[in-house]
Amino acid sequence: MNDFLGIDWFFLATSLAKTLGIIFLVVLPMVSYTVYAERRISALIQDRLGPNRTGIPFTNIHMEGLGQPIADAVKFLLKEDLTPAHVNTFYFWLAPCLAMAPSLLTLSVIPFGSWLFGVPMVIANVNIGILFVFAIASLSVYGIVLAGWSSNSKYSFLGGVRSTSQMISYELSLGLSVIPLFLLLGKLNLVDIVDYQARNGWLLLPLWGEGLTLRRWLLLIPLLISFVVFTISIFAETNRLPFDLPEAETELVAGYHTEYSSMKFALFFLGEYAAMITGSSLIVTLFLGGWHLPIPWWSSGAGFHFALVDGAAPGIPGILGGLFNIATFFGKVAVLLAFFIWVRWTLPRFRYDQLMRLGWIFFFEIALVNIFLTAGILFYLP
């Protein structure tokens, strides 16, 4: 039955379910509520309250403004969709789609849970996971460049140009910074990476399994460097402050999306936040143990140890475990998103030359040296 017409229908159905589930049940709501969180947190940081009124329409129930993202979405959909007369219409329409799509595509190879109902909680378990991520992520620059160019406005154009050079520069350190990881693991598959961390300690928290060896503790130094460089590069890749030069309001009005309105603008907006979610997911997957959460446990047999919550276990515990793992993953992502927001409302923007200097002179070199450092450690402690 599962093999009718040579197609694995079960695989197809579950994949489809996972894709739709992830996009519509998780990512889009998460994007909306990240925006909401951003507004609330920024308000709190600045001693304000932020949107705290929009609740259930026509009632006095405010729900602390939780209805705001929905209202925003409705507003974006209903607003007049304006295409200025002086733009290149085809690319002008294409750009917002290109801005949104790569972030969503990237999510397909990230394991957001262990197993549920015997299905692996990753949409596409591909061998070259991380390469796929980089390949797709670099596409997102097209959305911005096209938006900047086709808008036929100087602000947009400057934003587009800035964005291109920024992304190209930081992709370099992004790529180089994760090489130590793969020197250690010898694999590119993201599912395997998370499995390894679940069994042998997170790369940044080597507290169990193989993680207790001297080698892993020595490797913690280069991995920490990797983590810092990678995280900062993700900030730059997602155009978040302090690297938001492509849309620097004070200089460029709104950068590459100056000429956009309504839903097309919303797509850029969603794209930016989706990229944040993707970036956070990557950091979680690579360095912070993915869906895994160590539970300190004591049993008479094994003494003190960390229990592994496994979604692959049969029956109800398996289902609960699977759900728990998914929750863990998105919980970690949420914490990182909060960190993103926190940083944004703390740091001022870089000057453009500082940004380039940082990318090419510091992070690029650090990542390069870091690779040799890892290789050295691995050579002497195989």
Partner 1 sequence: MAYTVPRPKLTFREKLYLPAVAAGLAITIKHLKNMLLGRTKVVMQYPEEKWDSHMPPHYRGAPTLVRDDDRERCVACQLCEFICPPRAIKITPGEIPSASKSEKVEKFPLEFDIDMIRCIYCGLCEEVCPEQAIFLRKDYAITGLSRAEMVHNKKKLYELGGTMHGLVNKWNEKK
In angstroms, what is the minimal distance from the CB of 337 to partner 1?
Answer: 15
179/343 with CB nearer partner 1 = 343
User: In the complex with partner 1, which residue's Cβ is closer, 242 or 311?
Assistant: 242
By CB under 8 A, name the one of 23, 26, 28, 45 that touches partner 1.
45
Complex with partner 1: residue 149 or 340, whichever CB lies closer? 340
Structure tokens at 336: 């990182």
Are the C-beta atoms of 341 and 38 separated by less than 8 Å? yes
CB of 347 to partner 1, least distance (A): 6
Q: Is 46 in the site for partner 1 (CB under 8 A)?
A: yes
- Applying CB under 8 A, which part among 161-169, 219-227, 343-351, 369-377 lies near partner 1? 343-351
Question: Which one of 12, 17, 44, 78 is in contact with partner 1 (CB under 8 A)?
Answer: 44
Smallest distance from partner 1 to CB 362, Å: 10
Residue 283 CA from chain centroid, whole number: 7
The footprint of partner 1 on this chain (CB under 8 A) covers a number of residues equal to 12
Report if residue 41 touches partner 1, rule: CB under 8 A: yes
Exposure of 379 by Cβ count < 10 A (0-12 exposed, 13-18 middle, 19+ buried)? Answer: exposed
Indicate whether 346 belongs to the interface with partner 1 (CB under 8 A): yes
Rounded CA gap, 166 and 356, in Å? 7
Identify whether the C-beta of residue 120 lies closer than 8 Å to the C-beta of residue 14.
no
199 CB-side CA count, 13 A:
7
The answer to whether 284 touches 331, Cβ cutoff 8 Å, is no
Q: Of 141 and 225, which has the nearer Cβ to partner 1?
A: 225
Let me know: does 269 contact 72? Beta carbons within 8 Å. Answer: no
Alpha helix segments (H runs only) across the chain: 9-20, 28-45, 68-78, 89-106, 129-150, 154-177, 179-185, 190-200, 214-237, 249-252, 262-287, 315-344, 352-357, 364-380
Between 89 and 346, name the residue whose CB sits nearer to partner 1.
Answer: 346
Site string for partner 1, 116-155 (x = CB under 8 A): ----------------------------------------
Per rule CB under 8 A, is residue 345 in the interface with partner 1?
A: yes
Q: Which stretch binds partner 1 (CB under 8 A): 43-51, 65-73, 284-292, 300-308?
A: 43-51
Rounded distance between C-alpha atoms, residue 78 and residue 82, angstroms: 12
Shortest CB 47 distance to partner 1, Å: 5
The window from 7-15, 86-94, 137-145, 340-348 that contacts partner 1 (CB under 8 A) reads: 340-348
d(CA 74, CA 83): 20
Q: What residue ranges bind partner 1 (CB under 8 A)?
A: 41, 44-49, 342-343, 345-347
